[in-house]
Amino acid sequence: MSLVHITVFGLVAVLMSASSNSRWRGWGLLTGSVLAVYWLQPATTVRHFDFWLPTIALALTIFVWVATHRKTSFSVRVEISTSLVIAALVLAISFTRYLTIGWHLTQTRPPNALSILVALIGLGLISFLLLWIRQKSQLGLWLLASIILGLFIITKSDPLATWASSLARVWTGQLPELASSTDMSWLGFSYIALRLLHTLRDQTAGRLPALSLREYVTFVIFFPALTAGPIDRAERFVRDLRVARRITAIQAVEGVTRIILGLFKKFVLADSLAMIALNATNALQVKSSLWLWVLLYAYTAQIYLDFSGYTDVAVGIGRLAGFELPENFDRPYLKPNIVAFWNSWHITMAKWFRAYHFNPLTRFLLRRKPKLLPWMVIFLAQISTMVLIGLWHGITWNFLAWGIWHGMGLFIHNRWAAFLKAHSHVLPPSLRSSRAVKAASVLLTFHFVTIGWVWFALPEISLSMNVLGRLFGM
Amino acid sequence: MLRPWPHLLLLAIILVLAACGPSDSPERAVINYIEAMVDADSVRAVNLACTAWEKQARTEAASFETVDARLEGLVCMEGDQVGEFTIVTCQGVIRAMYDGELQDLDLDRRTYQVLLEDGEWRMCGYK
């Protein structure tokens, strides 16, 4: 998101909250979110991808709603009107094709309206098919989950993304040999996918609240949280959406203050630190161990300020629109152990993986026969969860290594905590609560996380190993 | 009951617009392309290029990545039709700083070939 995007979103949010009519507010937020998903999508070298990727995201959102929705107080006519409004918005965006470049909402000229109309009709037919399948079985849910996961994997894996790009280029009549993984840069899809998957899972577990199509689409592509989260839950989000209230002056000031804080953290502090933060180029240029630590500390600070800055902006804009979006960070570098770190870093993502992977896997492993030892269950659950979190960032060896690093950290902490519980004389509670031990714990945890960033920041395992060795003078 | 008329009207508008020709012009396509090139924006340059020129568009935009350059007095005019191409001539200059030295690249030294591809005018090489 650029400063222009943030300014516009802030103004739109204020406009939305100025209306105490929940119906108008709901339509306004839907319209704003649909337009935002096209506006934010960057162009790629595959023609019209900056139009089709958001369209596919919208289509998947509608399909998931069709496959999972429960009966609401809204009539079928209202739901059909919502889908027609979305279709009209998409067509309106496509009409900007006939304006001069610079006046399109998308980065490049949209495809011709006829192809979009054909696509919309196709999407409508698929929706009816999903409705029909839903009456017979849960096949639709599994199919959608597989498609969403498949698309997610393609966008996160360089070889698969390049392959998908080459296919797309054949479709657009461009040269497939010029395909690149960056052509599959799908803004916000990592977050959209998690929201869609959580809906599908909650539907099978009977936990999903009744949501209208308008509410659901707004939840999935809510414009403040589109690019970098937080990953909200549908039932919490829709409570804020349904309450029609004008924000107070204090809430407005809080929202604006949060936005300004986020802008300062991201565009001033983080972007300044980026000039010296560890990367693949300076990792090879810097020879001294001391300067490597400086680069690494700069990266540690930069990644936190960048990400938490975006969260501050999202939460601030959400507050201006009358939403209390969940927090994503709680002073993570000041935590005394790795468990506390993961309860305070990218909180909503960690909660998501805990709810939809760690807990179900743990329950399954504890119930299976033959029984596994408790420490094996913990090991498998923690390592697999952190590996998935690592791969969520990108399907590379480095992100895998980063996940394993944190998984091992969690497991070692778990064993140490169990050991201390059984042998409290080793570190008596009075000593454990001393300032010196707490400070040492925070320093140790901070450096464990910092060293782990070496895997995250660099693109190659060999380079990461090289840097790790040089950090310790080897 | 849903009223069909607004939806039919919308459909009619769409079909009429779909039958419309390109909204941009050959000279506008070249202007946009040169601007993308000077901005070193290879994604934009590729999207303004025809399929056959895509590779060259990337190379040309990439050549400006480490150069401090600006456009001055860019004006383009549509010329004759030569085969499937429309010829465009331009005037203006790219002022670029190479190794501390200011160099001018006159844009009237070349004539530009523009092709109508996928309903859009696209930069497609030099004559």
- Which residue among A95, A113, A178 places its CB closest to the CB of B55? A178
Residues of B in contact with A107 (CB under 8 A): 44
Decide: residue A52, CB within 10 A, 0-12 exposed, 13-18 middle, 19+ buried. Answer: buried
Torsion of CA A428, A430, A435, A436, to 10 degrees: -30
pLDDT given for residue A464 in this prediction = 95
- Please give the model's pTM, rounded to 2 decimal places: 0.89
- Residues in chain B within 8 Å Cβ distance of A98: 17, 20, 23
In the DSSP assignment, the letter for residue A225 is G
Whether A112 and B119 lie within 8 Å, measured CB to CB? yes
> A100–B119: do the CB atoms touch at under 8 Å?
no
pLDDT for the residue numbered A214: 93
Report the C-alpha gap between A179 and A165 in whole angstroms: 5
At residue B64, the 3 state secondary structure works out as coil
Q: What ipTM was estimated for this complex?
A: 0.82
Which structure tokens are listed for A119?
A: 């696509």
pLDDT at A248: 84
Token reading at A90: 């998409």
pLDDT computed for residue B23 by the predictor = 54
**B46 contacts A112? CB cut-off 8 A:** no
**Per-residue pLDDT tens listing for chain A (474 residues):** 888 999 999 998 888 877 766 778 888 899 999 999 999 999 999 999 999 999 999 999 999 999 988 766 667 888 888 999 999 999 999 888 887 767 788 989 899 888 888 999 999 999 988 888 887 777 888 889 999 999 999 999 999 999 999 999 999 999 999 999 999 999 999 999 999 999 989 888 888 888 899 999 999 999 999 998 899 999 899 998 888 667 888 888 999 999 999 999 999 999 999 999 999 999 999 988 999 999 999 999 999 999 999 999 999 999 999 899 999 999 999 999 999 999 999 999 999 999 999 999 999 999 888 888 889 999 999 999 999 999 999 999 999 999 999 999 999 999 999 998 888 777 777 777 788 889 999 999 999 999 999 999 999 999 999 999 999 988
pLDDT, tens digit (0-9, with 9 covering 90-100), for B52-65: 999 999 999 999 99
Catalytic residue status for A198: no
* Distant-in-sequence, close-in-space partners of A167: CB < 8 Å, separation ≥ 6: A176
Chains A and B form CB pairs within 8 A to the count of 59
Among A53, A37, A32, CA closest to A214: A32
Q: Do residue A45 and residue B43 have CB atoms under 8 angstroms apart?
A: yes
CA angle B80, B82, B88 (to 5 degrees): 45
**Whole-number Å distance between alpha carbons of A461 and A398:** 6
* pLDDT recorded at residue A435: 87
Q: What is the dihedral of CA A465, A466, A467, A471, to 10 degrees?
A: 100
Give the per-residue pLDDT at A354: 95
Tens digit of each residue's pLDDT (9 = 90 or more) over B27-47? 999 999 999 999 999 999 999
Any idea which residue has 């969520």 for tokens? A392
Residues of chain A positioned with their CB less than 8 A from the CB of B59: none
| Listed ranges A206-215, B10-19, B83-92; the one with the highest mean pLDDT | B83-92
Q: A465 is written with which tokens?
A: 């190993």
The pair of three-digit structure tokens given for residue A376, joined into one six-digit string: 């094996």
Residue A414 has which token pair? Answer: 């778990």
Q: Residue B76 belongs to what H/E stretch?
A: strand B68-82
Q: Is the pLDDT of residue B82 over 60?
A: yes
Per-residue pLDDT at B1 exceeds 50: no
- Residue B58 corresponds to which amino acid? R
Q: Give me the catalytic one of A48, A69, A393, A406.
A: A393
Interface check for A181 against chain B (CB to CB < 8 A): the answer is no
Q: At what angle do helices A49-68 and A189-204 cross, to 10 degrees?
A: 10
Residue B111: CB atoms within 10 A of its CB come to 17
Beta bridge partners of A309: none
d(CA A431, CA A414): 19
On whether the CB atoms of residues A469 and A320 are closer than 8 A, the answer is no
d(CA B41, CA A110): 19
Q: Which is it for strands B85-98 and B101-106: parallel, antiparallel or unpaired?
A: antiparallel
Q: Give the helix/strand (H/E) hosting A405.
A: helix A397-422
Question: Does the distance separating the beta carbons of A42 and B54 come in below 8 Å?
Answer: no
